Amino acid sequence: MKVKNICCIGAGYVGGPTMAIIAQKSPEITVTVVDINEQRIAAWNNPDVEHIPIYEPGLSEVVAEARGRNLFFSTDVDAAIDAADMIFISVNTPTKTYGMGKGMAADLKYIELCARQIARVATTDKIVVEKSTLPVRTAEALKNILDNTGNGVNFQILSNPEFLAEGTAVSDLHKPDRVLIGGDLDTEAGREAIQALVGVYAHWVTEDNILTTNVWSSELSKLTANAFLAQRVSSINALSELCEVTGADIQEVSKAIGMDSRIGPKFLQASVGFGGSCFQKDILNLVYIAKSFGLHEVADYWEQVIIMNDHQKRRFAAKLVKTLYNTVSGKRIAMLGWAFKKDTNDTRESASIYVADYLLNEQATVVVYDPKVTQEQILADLDYLGTRSEAENRALIHVVNSAEEACDQAHAVALMTEWDVFKTLDWNSIYAHMLKPAFLFDGRRLLDRKVLEEIGFDFYAIGS
């Protein structure tokens, strides 16, 4: 079977870029991305491609090439479902904030709503592809809903987890290490559905890099890949604290161990803590699943990755307060960077949110600059934590338009996101406009200690 019409529910960080590349690489397939959020769809349709809702290097060019040709963005979910022979579900699956599994399990209400909507609308056979990261065995629940509430048409469920990282989504999608497709390998219809999706990716990915497995392996592999990556970051961050008390340097240690080809150099960069929409959520999910099967040692093992990450964020903020003579009350602290990593405007679970919250609790005045994150988003992130009233957040935090403005008359600067532009700031001039002694806390090991100390900064870098 050759896929001719694809619908993707969810025009977010995963659905948007993934569908844009599928459309770019497969001109004969019509790809429609739908979302219930009208504003988001309007932004995807903005005639000026520089204003699409997601910032990713190279994405606007891909959208410019395919949009209106075979790539469409719409809020008419029913029509897109009806027309499609393959439907990707790419809605968000946040950690539950209520009831059983609160704070740990994935909230699947949006997934279930999608399944019910597909079942209600579909009048022809459909292949339904899980793109969202889901707990193991979700496909089974999806199939139950589809088969029992549908109009008697056949549904095949595939799991096709996304491994793109934000900030490099376009190149990750163009050259994936692997594409993983889980499906029902035991039936002819299942194998056909898998091959249909293989056929889509085969437009630009060699078949050797397309792995097919059973559904459960595919679902679990996604959680596991993120857990392993996050574990490396927590491992190196754990050692960064040890470096600070022993005189070792975490960058030297990272390099030394990373050159062991069995370990490898990636994901060994010490930081103020990992963020992003996936690592924490997926590990909590893994922990919850392990616990629900009574595997307590397995659960505790993985939970430690999160405990370490929370510790790292708290430790960085506490270090700042301690260094500023144990009080930051009324002091101006500049935070450079709010996104959870460079080259994205995504702020979900960013360490900046937690560090800012800590400093605000200590009554600091926090001034933030990020090249791609809006003031609205920064305030929304803080309000979401619910630590203090919206009015208090607005009184204590200021968002400005340049790094220089943020640092002007500040007691200290905290470098939070590794944006390239922060490397080439005029640190001499920034120093001249700060209160003395001027403190600089590098949470990303982005800056050169020697240069900054020569300027006069009282300099702290994580892990040294």
Q: Where are the beta strands (DSSP E) in 90-149?
A: 126-130
Q: Which of 44, 279, 316, 358 binds ligand UDX (CB under 6 A)?
A: 279
Q: Is 274 in the site for ligand UDX (CB under 6 A)?
A: yes
Site for ligand UDX in 94-153 (CB under 6 A): 110, 113-114, 132-133
Q: Which residues are catalytic?
A: 162, 222, 278
Give φ, ψ of 338 to 5 degrees.
-130, -25
The CA distance from 115 to 113, in Å, is 5
Site for ligand UDX in 311-350 (CB under 6 A): 340-341
The footprint of ligand UDX on this chain (CB under 6 A) covers a number of residues equal to 40
Residue 204 CB neighbours (<10 A): 15
Residues 6+ apart with CB under 8 A from 204: 25, 174
At residue 165, what is the residue type?
A: A
| Closer residue to ligand UDX in complex, CB, 216/431 | 216
Q: Is 243 in the site for ligand UDX (CB under 6 A)?
A: no
Q: Which of 31, 91, 243, 253 binds ligand UDX (CB under 6 A)?
A: 91
Q: Which of 45, 83, 171, 267 binds ligand UDX (CB under 6 A)?
A: 267
| Closer residue to ligand UDX in complex, CB, 96/411 | 96
| Closer residue to ligand UDX in complex, CB, 9/197 | 9
The CA distance from 251 to 240, in Å, is 9
The CA distance from 345 to 348, in Å, is 9
Site for ligand UDX in 155-184 (CB under 6 A): 162-166
3-state secondary structure of 74: strand
Which range in 65-73, 144-152, 225-233, 354-362 contacts ligand UDX by CB under 6 A? 225-233
Written as six digits, the tokens of 173 are: 């999608």
Minimum CB separation from ligand UDX for residue 140, in Å? 18
| Closer residue to ligand UDX in complex, CB, 176/183 | 176
Minimum CB separation from ligand UDX for residue 389, in Å? 26
The CA distance from 310 to 286, in Å, is 17
- Which H helix or E strand runs over 454? helix 449-455
Backbone Cα Rg of the chain: 24
Q: Which of 21, 24, 40, 121 binds ligand UDX (CB under 6 A)?
A: 40
Q: Is 238 in the site for ligand UDX (CB under 6 A)?
A: no
At residue 161, what is the residue type?
A: P
CB 156 within 8 A of CB 116: no
Written as six digits, the tokens of 291 are: 């616990």
The CA distance from 232 to 298, in Å, is 17
| Closer residue to ligand UDX in complex, CB, 164/324 | 164
Q: Is 212 in the site for ligand UDX (CB under 6 A)?
A: no
Which range in 121-129, 226-234, 284-292, 353-361 contacts ligand UDX by CB under 6 A? 226-234
Q: Is 278 in the site for ligand UDX (CB under 6 A)?
A: yes
| Closer residue to ligand UDX in complex, CB, 132/160 | 132
| Closer residue to ligand UDX in complex, CB, 82/192 | 82
Which range in 43-51, 97-105, 268-276, 328-336 contacts ligand UDX by CB under 6 A? 268-276
Q: Please tell me the total number of residues recorded for the chain in this structure.
A: 464
For every residue of 222-259, DSSP letters joined together read HHHHHHHHHHHHHHHHHHHHHHHHHT--HHHHHHHHHT
Q: Which of 176, 182, 276, 463 binds ligand UDX (CB under 6 A)?
A: 276
The CA distance from 62 to 33, in Å, is 15
Q: Which of 60, 92, 231, 393 binds ligand UDX (CB under 6 A)?
A: 92
Give φ, ψ of 30 to 5 degrees.
-85, 125
Q: Is 36 in the site for ligand UDX (CB under 6 A)?
A: yes
Among 172, 248, 236, 165, smallest CA distance to 209 is for 172
Q: Is 269 in the site for ligand UDX (CB under 6 A)?
A: yes
Q: Which of 3, 6, 8, 15 binds ligand UDX (CB under 6 A)?
A: 15
| Closer residue to ligand UDX in complex, CB, 26/269 | 269
Sign of the Cα pseudo-torsion (215, 9, 344, 198, in order): positive
Among 110, 104, 112, smallest CA distance to 35 is for 110
Q: Which of 19, 104, 197, 229 binds ligand UDX (CB under 6 A)?
A: 229
List interacting residues with ligand UDX (CB under 6 A).
9-15, 35-37, 40, 90-93, 110, 113-114, 132-133, 162-166, 226, 229, 233, 267-269, 271, 274-279, 340-341
